[in-house]
């Protein structure tokens, strides 16, 4: 512990604490620019200079560790002059013109710093040399004129996302932010996660879609979760006049700690599907607008007529509340099966395995944060559950091993320390053999390498990595549809036990776990004549749509027009993901809350309320408590 | 004591700061009770009195040799010089042309725009002022009070003028300090 006095206030802090963080604990405000709470201190901007008693010069507080008895001043005339000088130098380094900048007027940390110092003008002229603007990226614009060389983006890209796309070339005032070795951002290895945009203190990195649509003071912020995949990242949804402006990662979220991928941050901004705003009923072979009352009546008649001959289908983007209600309604009419719109049986297989094991064996998201060996197979996690891949990739510089088993091109190709090209159909066998090797049951490495046409040394390194690891994680995907799903899942479980590795399976879509917990199976063969479908706002693949189009009759709840609504008998408009509240269960069993950020059009109800309306006209009482239902099957992961 | 005198002029700007000044609306009546408004670009008298004024206000940046002359004349004839608006203080929108050569900027303006064609001629009369790099006023003459904004809010302008009229140097901070 070290005692430090800042502006007359004394505090005892842990050794190694920076003066800046000690000041924050004392609620002493020191201005900063290059510092970001989620990033390693860098000491680049010099705005946080403080006077340390006994030190010859002013010291940057963000990188200065406290020492016992240190006496620090943060508000002397000398410091204020230094800050103004630092800001003057920063303004003169590039071309910062506030009237035509996206972040001016509250969102710019550089401008705010200048205001705080009462700067009315720039004592030193700007650079006047034009710097390039890189607009090659579909989501991000990079304007070098506004760059203050703070390297927050570089640190975020490496330390948080583990992608290492951004870096700097040249030195001093010539320093330039570059992607890869100088490629345009849009052609670089950038994965478009936008974390750099979120941490940029100026208007250097801005997001194309929300640019000039409103400052943070003009918008309302709603904390909710992303429904892009099963990770369940916390997001801040910025809206203005009931219009989506931007999505940002929620730094306080327990799952993603502020990180997002392109699917979560940018893709919702380009929603172009046609919205359904009124109920529709098929009359004379064509869908015609109807009132809720009429449409409900037609749907109720169809359901009554098809008692015992209907299937319930839910999108995995639907809340557990709505899933439970749909199940309740389906059970009242003796539904043949309860299906999800998920095109594979992975989650069902994982659940079946858990039931036969009778235990929740899997690890939690925290286990990914500090592992030293990651073994991944079953999907390209860098595409389908991206944020989880960040946690593995960013550990590589610290010596973590990332081993992938795949015979396809993968986003891990440039990062993985070892790639084992095992054919998909022999994956289960290979996992069993690997397990035997690890547990010492069978020792013939050469034979096994030959069996799967693998490099013997690579297989040996895999074994060494898993055996010498202090904390290894098996990151098992769920975008596979092997004919032997159950065998792969069971082999994965036994391998994780043999290797003493934490097992984490990605489990499909946002609420796949909720669906499985309530007894829904992956989309199999349609058996009944009537499908009662809650498609919500899901954008289904053609393949899955064709599967359901085979059913002769359909009652559909959907936010958007799709082939499945076009051929339906009754269509009910429902709210999209940003318009409703609810609960979902993510891949590692967290029950997450979804909050409405936008108001829906009149006559458009939440999935849950819309099902409720149908149930009440059919006299089906909703008396299921979904929380109690979750324990019905053994879950592969602890739900809480 | 005689009322303080005020004169203003505009350089390379858009007149928006003067328009914003007029947005003080009926408060102009209060203002003229406190100060004697002399030459401005929007009144009959165009040049500040040779005898000098208390406060000189300049809108716009220095874009050519004529702007330089006007700025120097204002500085010579006033006791307190106010730079009004982002163009006067930072160069503002006209300073965007600094990223091109003067020839490129002139060709764009007189030949390449949708309303001009290849027959367009770049004015070359020797009597015209010579264009220069666009600079803030304080690069040419000493400025005493900086009032940033594009344009500065009418309330801010009123505050500045009211302070000056009462013999105080206004301090722009907190909500009165805005660069855009």
**Each residue's pLDDT tens digit in chain B (180 positions)?**
689 999 999 999 999 999 999 999 999 999 999 999 999 999 999 999 999 999 999 999 999 999 999 999 999 999 999 999 999 999 999 999 999 999 999 999 999 999 988 888 999 899 999 999 999 999 999 999 999 999 999 999 999 999 999 999 999 998 899 987
A111 to chain B, any CB pair closer than 8 A? The answer is yes
Q: For the stretch A298-320, what's the b/e string if a residue is b when 16 or more beta carbons lie within 10 angstroms of its beta carbon?
A: bbbebbeebeeebbbbbbbbbbb
Rg (CA), chain A: 28
Residue A78, pLDDT score: 97
Using CA atoms of A336, A340, A344, A346 in order, give the dihedral in degrees to the nearest 10: -100
| Pair A104, B179: CB distance under 8 Å | yes
Contact B139 A125 (CB under 8 A): yes
Nearest to B179 among A104, A128, A130 (CB): A104
Whether residue A480 is predicted with pLDDT greater than 90 in this model: the reply is no
pLDDT band at A409 (very low <50, low <70, confident <90, very high): very high
Q: Can you tell me which residue has the tokens 């801040």?
A: A236
How far does the CA of residue A149 sit from the closest CA of chain B (Å)? 21
- Residue A637: what pLDDT? 85
| Mean pLDDT on A63-72 | 97
Query: Rounded to a whole number, what is the distance in Å from the CA of B150 to chain A's nearest CA?
Result: 7
Q: Are the C-beta atoms of residues B36 and B5 closer than 8 Å to each other? A: yes
| The pTM of the whole model exceeds 0.90 | yes
* Residues 99-138 of chain B whose Cβ lies under 8 A from any Cβ of chain A: 99-100, 133, 135-136, 138
Using the predicted structure, report yes or no on whether residue A482 has a pLDDT greater than 80: no
Alpha carbon B75 to its chain's center: 12
CB contact under 8 A, A100 and B93: yes
Q: Which domains does chain A have, with CATH numbers?
A: 2-75 (3.10.20.740), 130-270 (3.30.70.20), 280-341+512-630 (3.40.50.740), 359-505 (3.40.228.10)
Residue burial A374-392, b: 16+ Cβ < 10 Å; e: rest = bbbbbbbbbbbbbbbbbbb
Q: Test B133 with A115 for CB contact under 8 angstroms.
A: no
Element of type H or E holding A536: strand A530-536
Task: Give me the residues of B, 60-79, that contact A with CB < 8 A.
Answer: none
Asked whether residue A629 carries a pLDDT value surpassing 90, the answer given is no
Mutate which of A87, A102, A118, A121 to test chain B, going by most B C-beta atoms within 10 A?
A121
Backbone angles phi, psi at A137, to 5 degrees: -90, 140
Q: Are strands A140-143 and A133-134 parallel, antiparallel or unpaired?
A: antiparallel
Q: Which of B60, B160, B180 to mutate to test the interface with A (most CBs of A within 10 A)?
A: B180
- Rounded to 5°, angle at Cα B65 from B64 and B69: 125
pLDDT digits 0-9 by tens, A252-284: 999 999 999 999 999 999 899 999 999 999 999
How far CA A77 is from CA of A345, A355, A583, in Å, comes to: 68, 70, 54
The answer, for B26 touching chain A at a CB cutoff of 8 Å, is no
Residue range A232-245: mean pLDDT, rounded: 96
B169 inside 8 A of chain A by CB: no
Three-class SS of residue A565? Answer: helix
Helix (H, G, I), strand (E, B) or coil at A587: coil
A125 pLDDT higher than 70: yes
A97–B83 CB contact, under 8 Å: no
Predicted confidence band of residue A215 (pLDDT cuts 50, 70, 90): confident
Rounded-to-5 percentages of helix, strand, coil across chain B: 40, 20, 40
Report the DSSP pairing between strands A133-134 and A205-207.
Answer: unpaired
Instruction: Name the pLDDT band for A357 (thresholds 50, 70, 90).
Output: confident
Of A338, A400, A345, the closest CA to residue A375 belongs to A400
User: Which residues in chain B touch residue A128, judged by CB atoms under 8 angstroms apart?
Assistant: 98-99, 133
A99 to A245, A414, B148: CA distances (angstroms): 21, 42, 11
H helices of A178-252, in order, are 195-199
ipTM: 0.92
pLDDT score of A481: 64
Residue A343's pLDDT is 81
Q: Rounded to whole angstroms, how far apart are CA atoms A619 and B133?
A: 79
Count of alpha carbons within 13 angstroms of residue A59, beta-carbon side: 19
CA-CA distance, B133 to A327, in Å (whole number)?
73
CB contacts, 8 Å: A115 with chain B: 173, 177
Q: Which helix (H) or strand (E) holds A352?
A: helix A346-357
Name the residue among A546, A577, A392 with its Cα closest to residue A469: A392
pLDDT, residue B1, reads 61
Tokens encoding A292: 């809720």
pLDDT at A345: 79
Q: What pLDDT sits at residue A239?
A: 96
State residue A417's pLDDT score: 95
Mean of the per-residue pLDDT values of chain A: 93
Question: Average pLDDT of A317-333?
Answer: 95
Place of tokens 């829904």: A520
């Amino acid at each position: 512990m070290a005692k430090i006095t800042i502006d007359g206030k004394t505090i005892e802090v842990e050794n190694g604490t920076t003066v800046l963080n000690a000041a924050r604990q004392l609620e002493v405000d020191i201005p900063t620019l290059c510092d970001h709470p989620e990033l390693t201190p860098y000491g680049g901007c010099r705005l946080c200079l403080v006077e340390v008693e006994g030190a010859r010069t002013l010291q940057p507080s963000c990188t200065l560790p406290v020492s016992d008895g240190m006496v620090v001043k943060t508000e002397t005339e000398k410091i204020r002059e230094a800050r103004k000088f630092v800001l003057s130098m920063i303004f003169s380094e590039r071309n910062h013109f506030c009237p035509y900048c996206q972040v001016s007027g509250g969102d710019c940390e550089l401008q705010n710093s200048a205001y705080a110092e009462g700067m009315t003008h720039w004592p030193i002229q700007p650079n006047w040399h034009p710097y390039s603007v890189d607009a090659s990226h579909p989501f991000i614009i990079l304007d070098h004129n506004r760059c203050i060389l703070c390297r927050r983006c570089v640190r975020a890209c490496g330390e948080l996302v583990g992608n290492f796309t951004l870096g700097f070339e040249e030195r001093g005032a010539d320093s330039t932010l570059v992607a890869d070795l100088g490629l345009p951002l849009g052609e670089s290895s950038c994965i478009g996660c936008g974390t750099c945009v979120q941490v940029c203190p100026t208007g250097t990195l801005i997001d194309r879609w929300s640019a000039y649509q409103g400052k943070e003071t003009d918008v309302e912020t709603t904390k909710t979760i992303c429904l892009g995949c099963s990770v369940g990242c916390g997001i801040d949804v910025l809206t203005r006049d009931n219009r989506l402006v931007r999505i940002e990662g929620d730094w306080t979220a327990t799952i993603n700690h502020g990180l997002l991928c392109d699917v979560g941050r940018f893709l919702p901004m380009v929603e172009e599907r046609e919205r359904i705003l009124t109920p529709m009923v098929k009359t004379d072979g064509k869908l015609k607008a109807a009132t809720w009352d009429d449409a409900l009546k037609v749907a109720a008649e169809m359901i009554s007529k098809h008692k015992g001959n209907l299937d319930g289908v839910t999108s995995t983007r639907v809340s557990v509340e709505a899933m439970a209600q749909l199940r309740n309604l389906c059970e009242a009419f003796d539904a043949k099966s309860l299906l999800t719109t998920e095109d594979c049986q992975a989650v069902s297989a994982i659940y079946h395995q858990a039931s036969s094991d009778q235990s929740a064996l899997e690890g939690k998201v925290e286990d990914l944060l500090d592992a030293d060996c990651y073994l991944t197979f079953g999907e390209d996690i860098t595409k389908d559950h991206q944020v989880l891949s960040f946690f593995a990739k960013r550990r590589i510089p610290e010596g973590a091993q990332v081993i992938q088993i795949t015979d396809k091109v993968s986003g891990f190709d440039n990062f993985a320390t070892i790639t084992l090209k095992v054919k998909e159909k022999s994956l289960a066998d290979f996992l069993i053999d690997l397990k035997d090797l690890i547990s010492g049951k069978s020792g013939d490495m050469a034979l096994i390498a030959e069996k799967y046409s693998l490099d013997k040394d690579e297989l040996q390194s895999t074994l060494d990595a898993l055996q010498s690891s202090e904390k290894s994680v098996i990151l098992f995907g769920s975008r596979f549809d092997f004919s032997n799903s159950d065998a792969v899942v069971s082999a994965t479980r036994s391998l994780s036990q043999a290797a003493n590795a934490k097992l984490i399976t990605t489990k499909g879509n946002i609420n796949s776990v909720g669906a499985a917990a309530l007894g829904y199976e992956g989309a199999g063969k349609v058996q009944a004549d009537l499908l009662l479908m809650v498609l919500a706002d899901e954008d289904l693949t053609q393949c899955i749509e064709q599967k359901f189009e085979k059913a002769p009759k359909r009652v559909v709840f959907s936010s958007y027009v799709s082939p499945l609504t076009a051929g339906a008998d009754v269509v009910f408009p429902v709210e999209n993901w940003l318009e409703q509240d609810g609960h979902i269960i993510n891949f590692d069993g967290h029950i997450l809350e979804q909050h409405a950020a936008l108001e829906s059009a009149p006559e458009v109800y939440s999935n849950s309320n819309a099902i409720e309306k149908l149930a009440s006209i059919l006299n089906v009482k909703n008396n299921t408590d979904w929380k109690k239902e979750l324990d019905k099957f053994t879950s592969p992961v602890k739900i809480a | 004591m005689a009322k303080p005198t005020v004169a203003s002029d505009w350089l390379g700007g858009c007149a928006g700061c003067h328009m914003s000044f007029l947005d003080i609306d009926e408060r102009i009546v209060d203002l003229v009770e406190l100060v004697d408004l002399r030459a401005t670009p929007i009144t009959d008298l165009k040049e500040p009195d040779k005898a000098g004024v208390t406060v000189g206000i300049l809108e716009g940046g220095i874009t050519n040799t004529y702007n330089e002359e006007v700025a120097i004349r204002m500085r010579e004839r006033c006791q307190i010089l106010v730079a009004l608006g982002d163009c006067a203080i930072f160069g503002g929108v006209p300073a965007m042309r600094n990223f091109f050569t003067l020839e490129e900027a002139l060709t764009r303006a007189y030949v390449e725009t949708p309303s001009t064609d290849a027959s367009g001629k770049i004015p070359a009369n020797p009597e015209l002022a010579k264009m220069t790099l666009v600079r803030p006023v304080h690069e040419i003459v000493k400025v005493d009070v900086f009032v940033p904004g594009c344009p500065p809010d009418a309330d801010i302008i009123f505050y500045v003028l009211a302070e000056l009229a009462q013999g105080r140097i206004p301090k722009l901070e907190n909500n009165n300090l805005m660069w855009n």
